[in-house]
Amino acid sequence: MRRDAALRLSRARRSVRCAVRMHPSQLDGARCYTRPVTEPPQRQPRTYKYYDLILGGFVCVLLCSNLIGVRKATMVDLPFVGPFTFGAGVLFFPIAYLFGDLLTEVYGYARSRRVVWAGFAALAFASLQSAVVVNLPSAPDFKEQHLIEWAFGSTWRLALASLIAYFCGEMVNSYVLAKLKVKTGGKKLWMRTIGSTICGEMIDTLIFYPLAFYGMWPDSLLISIMIGNYIMKVGWEIVATPLTYRVVAFLKRVEDEDYFDRNTEFTPFSLKV
């Protein structure tokens, strides 16, 4: 008798402990076990092998293109074309758009947006550092201050124009490519990369050169450089299309990723992925 009573009491205690962990609607007819309830495993964030390397390459090209040769106007004599005028800094700047195309095509708009913001922060810091270094007092024996000022002495107009044009152009480029990818079902990569570059580089050119150099350069020179630079930027994308196909195919294979932005929030003012 006492043994049976002790057994019933032990079972009753287990039932009470289990009932505390259960919803009232589950109590009726439920079987109870003393094994503790475990939490479901949390979803780990996706990691990629080459994403960080592409981010670093993008920021490197961006900084070099905006610090080296951006103030130099260049003229070359092309066969069948004649004199062709362009800004020296634009010679390598389109590579940044190639990186942007790779990021959006493989990893999606949200991760490309994070890279654009990283480039924006790096460019803003480079502008600040240039301003501080140029305006520091020179040593008495240092005679090349005028060269430093010419090469790195960006006015507030040049720095602001560069930041605004870069941000708007890159965001438009990524947005157009992401939308075209969904629209075409992932087909016609050449149309997406060239089409997005046409839109993005147009915004970049129309913002940067008037803000930075209007009133400093003659109007004829300003317009000719804008046209020449735009042609060069888009031409870069067209020439690089075969290479873009190979790199995109490689990244999609090794990263096991081909992102479609069907439910993406396209606001540029976010870092969420």
Record the tokens describing residue 3, joined without a space.
């043994």
Contact 234, 194 (CB under 8 A): yes
Tens of pLDDT, residue by residue over 230-267, are 998 899 999 999 999 999 999 999 999 999 999 999 99
Measured CA to CA, the distance from residue 271 to residue 32 in angstroms comes to 45
- 132 pLDDT more than 80: yes
**In this prediction, what percent of the chain has a pLDDT beyond 70?**
82
Question: Rounded distance, CA 9 to CA 27, Å?
Answer: 19
* 73 neighbors 88 (Cβ within 8 angstroms): yes
Structure-token pair, residue 106: 């493989």
More confident residue, 34 or 223: 223
Q: What is the DSSP letter of 46?
A: P
Q: What is the mean pLDDT of the chain?
A: 84
Give me the pLDDT at residue 186, please: 94
This prediction's pTM:
0.79
Mean per-residue pLDDT, 147-154: 79
The closest of 169, 171, 164 to 229, measured between CA atoms, is: 169
The more confident residue out of 81 and 192 is 192
More confident of the two residues 35 and 200: 200
Phi-psi region of 59 (alpha: psi -120 to 50; beta: other; left: phi over 0): alpha
Structure-block tokens of residue 2:
């006492």
Domains of the chain, first to last: 1-38 (no CATH), 50-255 (1.10.1760)
Q: CA separation (Å) from 4 to 8, 132, 214?
A: 6, 87, 98
Whether 152 contacts 135, CB under 8 Å: no
Query: Is 49's pLDDT higher than 70?
Result: yes
